[in-house]
Structure 1
């Protein structure tokens, strides 16, 4: 099977080490082939999370072919036209744009008193196929994003696009008066999904009670 075929069959994508192990190729040869597929627009890459210290490895996924909402794609493409490079400045700019867009998306969505439901409703409408997972020991609510219909744009600038999506989530929470501290988006945080981590529901409830008072 080809490298592209292997990665298309892997729901959570593969690292270069995974591909090298499955094909028997030397690691350097594997990396060259992977980067050529990225340059051709057939794969995208993002930093994989292995829960280990240090900079994680790249994980490669096949680009999505499903259509995505035109307004959001236009916004994302426009952002990439104005933001280049990587690093904290790029992430901060993309995050601010994402917050503004998230507030607008939350306003346009059906009203709900549950911030978690509001986040998943918007993300589902954008094509991320979210699913809420059991709360962690710290009380955080993980939401798995099983698809990313913007993978081709992510491949052009992972820092900007992932920060944009994280900003959208924080904007939705802000619109519902919920705290954004601790709201994060981890690319490839699960074997077959990116992971959104939302603040504990009791923290959101405390903010709502304060606002009501």
Structure 2
């Protein structure tokens, strides 16, 4: 068996690894490869094998694999076995590529601070860390065409899903639970990307992230919410409570 490693770069600009991994599908692909048993991790998987594991058509998987290889997150190798036929292309995580990903969160933080440095409200007062987070979300979160508050528990959960996507961009690994008949979301914010900043200046780090949550909800049409943040319920674990105060439609109807 002969294995040859192909180039990890294409001619097109694929975007940064952090931007590519905003896609849940690509995160699933990378997670699958990164968490293979040690004896299989070094060999990698073919596109067809990955498709079987993540539940996608092989053509869809190949499209995402190409982007991840071009960005340097993955590498591809051609494996030639005995007998006739074309070599099999196998994919594995590029050495050190995942170590670079947390810097995306720091890049976002630097961008946020740069864009809002010296920003003041209408009265000339400097913005608080929470107001800085709100300002960033208002500028960068994609708004729906007609933002409106959720009228059902399902719609509210969809809004929370958009919020979770934003938190993942910032480097968190969020887990979500609901209570109070779906009106409150408890979001476990695991592996804070700014853990050292949060320990030294919790009023800054937690304020920014509370603002990100509140600003994201506002951009999605949820203007009447309660947001609280419990820092360090674990060594690298914070807990956010997000509750909507909007009236839900009666059960059995959406009006």
Q: Does 1:197 align with 2:241?
A: yes
**SS at 1:95 equivalent:** helix
Q: Of the two structures, which has the highest relative contact order with CA contacts closer than 8 Å and spacing of 6 or more?
A: 1
In structure 1, the partner of 2:133 is 98
| Aligned residues of 2:190 and 2:238 also touching (Cα < 8 A) | yes
Q: How many residues align?
A: 136
Which has a greater percent of helix? 1
Matched ranges for 1:1-213 at <5 A: 66-75=102-111, 78=114, 93-107=128-142, 114-136=158-180, 139-189=183-233, 193-200=237-244, 203-204=245-246, 206=248
Unaligned runs of 5+ in 2: 1-100, 119-124, 148-154, 250-254
In structure 2, the CA distance between the partners of 1:206 and 1:168, relative to structure 1 (3 Å rule), is: same
Q: Secondary structure at the match of 2:179?
A: coil
Change (3 A) 1:187 1:70: closer
Shift of 1:69: 3.0
Residues 192 and 204 of structure 1, relative CA distance in 2, 3 Å threshold: farther
For residue 207 of structure 2, give the secondary structure of its aligned residue in structure 1: helix
CA distance in 1, matches of 2:140, 2:246: 20
**2: CA distance, partners of 1:73 / 1:147:** 16
Residues 87-126 of structure 1: CA distance to partner in whole angstroms, max 9, x if unpaired? xx99x711111101122332289x9973211110100111
Question: Distance in 1 between the 2:217 and 2:114 partners?
Answer: 24
Measured at CA, do residues 108 and 182 of structure 1 come closer, stay the same or move farther in structure 2, by a change above 3 Å? closer
The structure with more strand, counted as a fraction of residues: 2
Larger Cα-atom Rg: 2
Question: Once superposed, what is the RMSD of the aligned Cα atoms?
Answer: 3.9
